[in-house]
């Protein structure tokens, strides 16, 4: 066993600062909402690139970092993505989805129309790499990439940008439209931008802490 190590770069915070920070982050994250009505106003793309860089710091199985983020701003590519996504969504809403699933979506007011795929100034398509380019094995791929998506959504929110996690299913078309290698699989499509003027969101609540936390 001879693996190289370096000293951990860790900042020990005073307890009052830890508490303050945890309260501030909870407050900020309580205000994150999925947005489906975007302004077409441009956003600072360097913020998005840096958020992707931050997401790339996530832990991953055997540190294989099995993710690719494709940042799409080209209107022609956005239109292609919208058209292909809406074709899948029409099949979903038009019969592929079970009645119970559609009933569960009713309160969100979603349908097969996805104008946000063109309105939002940027789309981030997150791909999983089940294997490396050279055929090497990757591990816990969906877990790893999902963690990176969480970091990405959180970072974008804290940097003042609205997002949506959109998952048209199946998402194979994204691989084709974006020219990604065969082994990559799209996991999530994330429109990013400012909310449209007067944007409204579904009236939903989150579970209270005592409904999601068990302490032993």
Phi, psi of 121 (to 5 degrees): -65, -25
> Of all residues in this chain, which one has the CB nearest to ligand IYR in the complex?
110
Could you say whether residue 110 binds ligand IYR (CB under 6 A)? yes
Could you say whether residue 183 binds ligand IYR (CB under 6 A)? no
Could you say whether residue 166 binds ligand IYR (CB under 6 A)? yes
Nearer to ligand IYR by C-beta: 110 or 183? 110
Could you say whether residue 168 binds ligand IYR (CB under 6 A)? yes
Nearer to ligand IYR by C-beta: 33 or 50? 33
CB of 164 to ligand IYR, least distance (A): 9
Could you say whether residue 121 binds ligand IYR (CB under 6 A)? no
**Cα–Cα distance measured from residue 72 to residue 165, given in angstroms and rounded to the nearest whole number:** 15
Nearer to ligand IYR by C-beta: 121 or 191? 191
Could you say whether residue 105 binds ligand IYR (CB under 6 A)? yes
Nearer to ligand IYR by C-beta: 204 or 211? 204
Residues near ligand IYR (CB under 6 A):
89, 92, 105, 108, 110, 166-169
């Amino acid at each position: 066993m001879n693996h190289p190590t370096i000293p951990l770069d860790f900042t020990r915070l005073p307890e009052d600062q830890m508490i303050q920070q945890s309260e501030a982050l909870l407050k900020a994250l309580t205000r994150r909402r999925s947005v489906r009505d975007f302004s077409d106003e441009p956003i600072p793309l360097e913020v998005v690139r840096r958020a992707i860089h931050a997401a790339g710091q996530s832990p991953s199985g055997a540190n294989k970092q099995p993710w690719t983020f494709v940042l799409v701003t080209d209107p022609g590519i956005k239109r292609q993505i919208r058209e292909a996504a809406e074709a899948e969504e029409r099949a979903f809403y038009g019969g592929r989805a079970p009645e119970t699933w559609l009933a569960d979506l009713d309160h969100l007011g979603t349908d097969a129309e996805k104008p946000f795929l063109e309105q939002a100034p940027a789309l981030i398509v997150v791909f999983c790499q089940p294997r490396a380019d050279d055929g090497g094995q990757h591990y816990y791929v969906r877990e790893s990439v999902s963690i990176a998506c969480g970091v990405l959504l959180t970072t974008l929110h804290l940097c003042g940008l609205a997002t949506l996690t959109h998952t048209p299913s199946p998402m194979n078309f994204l691989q084709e439209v974006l020219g990604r290698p065969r082994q990559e699989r799209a996991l999530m499509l994330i429109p990013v931008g400012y909310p449209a003027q007067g944007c409204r969101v579904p009236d939903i609540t989150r579970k209270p802490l005592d409904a999601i936390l068990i302490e032993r």
